[in-house]
A and B are shown apart, each in its own frame.
Chain A
Amino acid sequence: MIDFEMSPGLEQIRGMIHGVAEMQMRPIAREYDEEEHKFPGPYVEFMHSATKMMGGGMFGGEKKEKKKEGEGGEKKERRRGEKALFQCVTIEQLAWGDAGLYLCTPSPGLGGFAIDAVGTPEQKERFLARFAGDEPCWGAMAITEPNAGSDSAAIRTTAVREDDEWVINGTKIFVTMGHKAIVDSKGFVVVWATVDPKAGRAGIKSFVVEAGTKGMKLIKVEHKLGIRASDTAQIVFDNCRIPLGNILGSPEVVEKGEGFKGAMATFDASRPVVSASGVGVAQAALDAVKEALKEQGIELPYGKPRAQLTSLQRDVMWMEAQVRATRWLAYKSAWMVDQGKPNALEASTGKAKAGKMVTKVTQKAVEILGPLGYSRKYLFEKWMRDAKITDIYEGTQQINLLIVARRILDYSSSQLR
């Protein structure tokens, strides 16, 4: 039954994380934006101990819940509960606090989504248990290469089997939290590589490479438009050897096999979360704009015909509607994950909308505040810079439009390129 009421559990976590965002993130947001890449020690420590206190996982409650899942037999969907919604609500609030710092939260990150989507129970245990450990750590995902971005089937990094090892060679760029995953902690990177370059997308598999593995080297951390507290790394794999058991999913190269599809399933779970982060940033800008209007005594006359509103009133009401509606798109796509329903259409619908919405809403906020919007004394300009990444990572606006178009037209990827 259609219901927009958050469960008490979600409501509680929303309030709690909002408090964290206000107390632990906002006060240092500007500092870590200005001093790009400075390690946010106090925030990391706080989140690490908070996560431990909550029994090992703000990001999916890894160990304990996993065990429960293994026990009974029937209906796996049921027991997923509200995990994806929980992640959305959490990350929306963290992104409201600071979109760059949120990414620095010790967690399996996007690599975790990949392991969740296609990993075996043994792999989940082996790679994810560390997040409940004593040291903060991070997971990352390495897909993009200098010559392959949106066209992820065109990646050139190779994985060759030699005896009981995979040997990985290639260069990865734009690895979100790569530095924290392999330099600052004993985390891992999930690397996409082809086991058979002639096989096209059927040959693409993902591999877990743990921090400290010989042959994996971080060679650069990018300077960015926004989300500057987070690191975006370039990583080179030079005869990097990993155990056979570190491949996620089957090593078989099968035409129309599960390999690439499995990798794509990662996005079905991660896009709702990225959409929610965009909603968080947009809500932050909207809240601040409304605060400013309040100080000026400007009211929003709901119910007045649009032709009679001032341009400012129109803009703010538009922002409000957009943020609100986009939140439901994100939540719907997450809810479908929790229900065990295929959500590729909804995930891309939400992501395309969220990317565009947060970009436009934060730009509008800068415009409304005039000179103050442009000033680094306030956060408006930062929100606008932070927002833009939402429309790029985890699939650009255009890639998501392509996915939506294929779905509604019932076209394959070869029918609509």
Chain B
Amino acid sequence: MIDFSLTEEQQLIVDTVRDFAAGEIHPVARKCEEKEEPIPDALVQGAWQLGLILNTIPESFGGGGEPRSAVTGTLITEELAKGDLALALHLLSPNLTVLPVLEFGSDAQKAAHLPRYAGEKFAAGSAAIVEPSMHYGPLDLATTATKKGANYVLKGRKCFTPVLDDTSPILVFAKEGDAVQGFFVERNAAGMKIEPERNMGLNALNLCEIAFEECAVPASARLGEDKGCDYKRILASSNIALSAAAVGVGQAALDYALKYAKEREAFGAPIATKQAIAFMLAEMHIEIETSRLLAWEAAWLFDKGDPEAFKTSVLAKQTSADMALEVADNAVQVLGGHGYIREHDVELHLRNARGFYAFDGLALV
């Protein structure tokens, strides 16, 4: 039955995460982006204490045992991204490992990976999908995995891969024959070279380019082992998470522009009292809400296991990528010259928003 209301529990989570984003994430976002200081450990551990990741890990591995919900994940991702996109992706990174292992991992893989994420302390996750090529497409990867004896050999290049600590393995997606499969690559693997990147935005997130030259991993490192994984489902999860993140960025940009427009006076009145500005703000609101509902629908289909989920997730991601860019651009415009100055949030929102067309696998729900 059609319903747009959150459950009480979801509302509680949203309120908590919203407060955390505003009170803890946002105040340090600029300094982290400018590399004036590293991401504070207190912030990371504080987010971990919210239990957002732990919740969905089975009790047998020390987690909360709650059923996974992409809809709830969508709500959480939006709220965190309102604080700051880069920090949100950092804090949510454990899901990059946890969710694929939960859904597709063999018993041995669950036992090997999940306990790391069921402890008192934050442990990072990492996945590598995107490749540094203008011909890159998530369904058409150039990185290959070839079976050689007891091993798989990885060849190719990845980029936009979060490498957030010194130990967590990286879940690398590569073409194996016609299908795409995931492979856990340990950080000391031979034939893997990691180089930090510098991008237009997301500078607080340690994204890396990784080269695989004849990098051999054991067959047990293949996600799902013999059974493999449903890569399109992982991609749908990524599309939905990134849609939600884009909605968060859009909403943050609008919120900033709204506040500014009510305070900034020109010609003797707040600029928000001029239709030229007010209509821009209204259109921003409308496009954000449009993207939000599409992201929710995709998440809802995903939770049902509906075959339409992938397609809808693609539409949601395209729509929200367009939206985030346009909204952030308009937010800069509302602030005029001030919008161009790095003292204000909106220029960062614009740089972050532009990435959504290129991002894949930076978050999962």
Contact = CB atoms under 8 A, between A and B. Distances in A.
Contacts of A304: 137, 139-140
B318 A409 contact: no
Given A303-B235, A305-B357, A320-B315, A335 B294 contact: no
Given A320-B315, A411-B272, A305 B136 contact: yes
Contacts, number: 141
B137 A303 contact: yes
A86 to B, nearest CB: 11
A332 interface: yes
A3 interface: yes
Interface stretch (B195-203, B285-293, B338-346): B285-293
Interface stretch (A154-162, A321-329, A361-369): A321-329
A375 interface: no
Contacts of B235: 303
A402 B278 contact: yes
A324 B139 contact: no
Interface stretch (A4-12, A60-68, A126-134, A185-193): A4-12
A406 B285 CA distance: 12
A2 B357 contact: no
A349 B289 CA distance: 8
Contact of A1 (B5, B282, B285): B5
Interface residues of A, number: 47
Interface string A243-267: 0000000000000000000000000
Given A2-B4, A326-B290, A409-B281, A307 B273 contact: no
Contact of A409 (B5, B258, B315): B258
Contacts of A406: 278
B50 interface: no
A320 B297 CA distance: 14
A1 B283 CA distance: 27
Contacts of A401: 278-279, 282-283
Interface residues of B, number: 50
B141 to A, nearest CB: 12
A335 B2 contact: yes
B2 A416 contact: no
Given A3-B300, A324-B294, A405-B279, A349 B285 contact: yes
B137 A409 contact: no
Given A302-B311, A318-B318, A405-B279, A2 B258 contact: no
Contact of B5 (A2, A5, A306, A321): A2
A302 B309 CA distance: 11
A389 B310 CA distance: 34
Contacts of B357: 305-307
A353 B272 CA distance: 21
Contacts of B135: 308
A17 interface: no
A54 interface: no
Given A405-B279, A409-B278, A416-B278, A4 B318 contact: no
B297 A324 contact: yes
A353 B290 contact: yes
A282 interface: no
A307 B134 contact: yes
Interface of B: 1-7, 10, 71, 134-140, 232, 235, 254, 258, 261-262, 272-273, 275, 278-279, 281-283, 285-286, 289-291, 293-294, 296-297, 300-301, 310-312, 314-316, 318-319, 357
7 contacts: A82-B2, A305-B136, A324-B315, A325-B290, A404-B286, A408-B285, A411-B278
